[in-house]
């Protein structure tokens, strides 16, 4: 009896397990199936197959977008313009799978009652294989928030959510490429900037680093140059400009004060942008790439107004985050050389306090100019030389003192850097403080 009962229990458990598995599989299958009660899509085509789009709003000129074989969109009507790829792709994506709220009629005889006999919005699409569709959008529904819509060759009438209608009724202004400069940031070779009374030419050196070429060779602050490139790349027409704003922009530009003229040279040739500022603090720009004058953001306007001093590298050392392998300090008649062996720093073969050496490295790394005087450097009284672990960089900085002022030069370069007295004094004090590590305290013996 016990065996029989056990067998029955096993069979019941197996059956219950199978029922649970079947139920779970059914739920998973249902999740992957479309909801039978969901309203049908008005349009359902492959987004990538759409090669041409046409938007007709009332009596306005049709807006036509065409996609080339390389996937680039262009506005061809009402005037030829470069298109904003993101905006064009978004429009095609919305139309490709266009959802409805509900199916109103399977076969409508009277289109006029829905405003579809003379629709306010007509969106046509042509696919790469020549297949075409035309969407008609009519009146708003009595309850609002939806519009009646149908395909030209489909007898069914649907309600279209207002947000989908908004996504489709685009103007040339909405769809045009609003970039004022179209260069590839990674392929720039030269920048000419006139701002703050300075004219500066910046180019790439043999190490592919930005350097100031004119008015004379100088080290450039790579981070500031990259920020300048980013601001130029971000120069776009203000999307909030109205038709009246666009008409008034040229006059506003003429009466505004020039902030900067930037020329960039790259794979696409030379492009130029001139930025001016109004008395109200607004910025307007004119580009060699597109016709007209356009308002730009304050971030762009302020970002391009860089003079020579802004673009120069203020750091005395360039080793940055590279680790030094050798540090040589000459303070007056005393010279100290620190060499890194594994994780230890040695001076004349004797281990030094690595924490104090690390403080010295940080001071050298952060040593910066306060200004760039034309003269003032005399005989150096303090020198620091750094060789990086990879052996790719060796730098030497010399510091002189005249009265209460400190001046520095990089070996082999003519530029003079004025540094703050507090920074010079701290560097000297940190260098003097490097000693052997304190002996470890012995732990008392347990009794």
Q: Is the pLDDT of residue 3 over 60?
A: no
Q: Per-residue pLDDT averaged across 41-60, rounded?
A: 95
Average pLDDT, the chain: 91
| Confidence at residue 191, expressed as pLDDT on a 0 to 100 scale | 98
Exposed/middle/buried for residue 405 (C-beta within 10 Å: 0-12, 13-18, 19+)? middle
- 359-387 per-residue burial string, b: 16 or more CB within 10 A, e: under 16: bbbebbbebebeeeeeebbeebebbbbbb
Q: Is the pLDDT of residue 154 over 70?
A: yes
Label residue 39 by pLDDT band (50, 70, 90): confident
| Confidence at residue 18, expressed as pLDDT on a 0 to 100 scale | 60
What structural domains does the chain harbor? 43-175 (2.60.40), 185-311 (no CATH), 324-432 (2.60.40)
- Count of alpha carbons within 13 Å of 262, Cβ hemisphere only? 31
Q: Per-residue pLDDT averaged across 118-141, rounded?
A: 96
Q: Is the pLDDT of residue 441 over 70?
A: no
Q: Is the pLDDT of residue 230 over 90?
A: yes
Q: Per-residue pLDDT averaged across 412-435, rounded?
A: 96
Rounded-to-integer distance, Cα 183 and Cα 190, Å: 12
Rounded-to-integer distance, Cα 329 and Cα 331, Å: 6
pTM: 0.79
Of 159-168, 253-262, 389-398, give the lowest mean pLDDT range.
389-398
Rounded-to-integer distance, Cα 51 and Cα 317, Å: 55
Q: Per-residue pLDDT averaged across 184-206, rounded?
A: 95
Of 38-42, 262-266, 375-379, give the lowest mean pLDDT range.
38-42
Q: What is the pLDDT of residues 24-37, one digit of tens each?
A: 655 554 555 555 66
| Confidence at residue 7, expressed as pLDDT on a 0 to 100 scale | 54
Q: Can you give the C-alpha Rg of the chain in angstroms?
A: 36
Q: Is the pLDDT of residue 127 over 90?
A: yes
Q: Per-residue pLDDT averaged across 67-79, rounded?
A: 94
Percent of the chain with pLDDT over 70: 90
Task: Give the tokens for residue 338.
Answer: 């620190």
Q: Is the pLDDT of residue 76 over 70?
A: yes
For every residue of 242-266, DSSP letters joined together read: -HHHHHHHHHHHHHSEEEEEEEEEE
Q: Per-residue pLDDT averaged across 387-403, rounded?
A: 93
| Confidence at residue 1, expressed as pLDDT on a 0 to 100 scale | 45
| Confidence at residue 276, expressed as pLDDT on a 0 to 100 scale | 98
Give me the residues paired with residue 371 across strands.
418
Rounded-to-integer distance, Cα 119 and Cα 112, Å: 9
Alpha carbon distances (Å) from 447 to 422, 441, 444: 52, 18, 9
Label residue 19 by pLDDT band (50, 70, 90): low
| Confidence at residue 246, expressed as pLDDT on a 0 to 100 scale | 93
| Confidence at residue 442, expressed as pLDDT on a 0 to 100 scale | 59
Q: Per-residue pLDDT averaged across 194-201, rounded?
A: 98
Q: Is the pLDDT of residue 367 over 70?
A: yes
Rounded-to-integer distance, Cα 34 and Cα 54, Å: 31
Rounded-to-integer distance, Cα 344 and Cα 364, Å: 19
How many residues does the structure list for the chain? Answer: 447
């Amino acid at each position: 009896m016990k065996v029989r009962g056990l067998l029955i229990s096993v069979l019941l458990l197996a059956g219950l397990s199978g029922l649970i598995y079947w139920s779970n599989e059914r739920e998973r299958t249902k999740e992957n199936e479309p909801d039978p009660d969901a309203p049908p899509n008005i349009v359902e085509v492959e987004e990538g197959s759409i090669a041409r789009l046409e938007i007709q709003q009332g009596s306005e000129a049709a807006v036509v977008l065409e996609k080339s074989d390389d996937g680039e969109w262009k506005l061809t009507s009402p005037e030829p313009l470069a298109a904003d790829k993101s905006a064009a792709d978004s429009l095609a994506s919305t139309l490709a799978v266009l959802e409805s709220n509900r199916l109103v009629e399977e076969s409508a005889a009277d289109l006029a009652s829905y405003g579809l006999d003379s629709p306010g919005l007509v969106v046509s699409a042509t696919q790469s294989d020549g297949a075409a569709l035309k969407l008609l959008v009519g009146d708003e529904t009595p309850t609002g928030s939806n519009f009646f819509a149908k395909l030209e060759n489909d007898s069914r009438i649907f309600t279209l959510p207002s947000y989908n209608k908004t996504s489709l009724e685009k103007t040339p202004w909405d769809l045009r490429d609003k970039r004022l400069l179209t260069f590839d940031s990674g392929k720039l070779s030269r920048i000419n900037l006139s701002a703050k009374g300075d004219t500066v030419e910046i180019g790439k050196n043999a190490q592919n680093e930005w350097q100031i070429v004119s008015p004379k060779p100088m080290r450039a602050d790579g981070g500031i140059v990259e920020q300048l490139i980013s601001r130029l790349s971000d120069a776009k027409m203000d999307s909030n400009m109205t038709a009246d704003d666009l008409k008034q922009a040229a006059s506003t530009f003429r009466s505004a004060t020039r902030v900067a003229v930037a020329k960039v040279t790259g794979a696409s040739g030379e492009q130029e942008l001139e930025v001016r500022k109004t008395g109200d603090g607004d910025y307007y720009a004119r580009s060699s790439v597109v016709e007209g004058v356009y308002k730009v953001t304050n971030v762009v306007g302020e970002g391009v107004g860089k003079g020579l001093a802004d673009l120069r590298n203020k750091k005395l050392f360039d080793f940055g985050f590279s680790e030094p392998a050798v540090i040589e300090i000459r303070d007056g008649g005393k010279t100290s050389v620190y060499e890194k062996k594994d994780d230890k720093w040695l001076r004349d073969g004797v281990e030094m306090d690595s924490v104090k050496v690390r403080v010295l490295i940080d001071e050298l790394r952060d040593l910066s100019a306060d200004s760039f005087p034309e003269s003032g450097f005399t005989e150096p009284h303090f020198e620091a030389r750094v060789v990086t672990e990879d052996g790719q960089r060796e730098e030497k900085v010399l510091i002189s003192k005249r009265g209460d002022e400190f001046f520095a030069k990089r070996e082999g370069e003519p530029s003079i850097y004025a540094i703050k007295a507090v920074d010079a004094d701290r560097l000297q004090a940190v260098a003097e403080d490097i000693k052997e590590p304190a002996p470890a305290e012995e732990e008392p013996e347990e009794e």
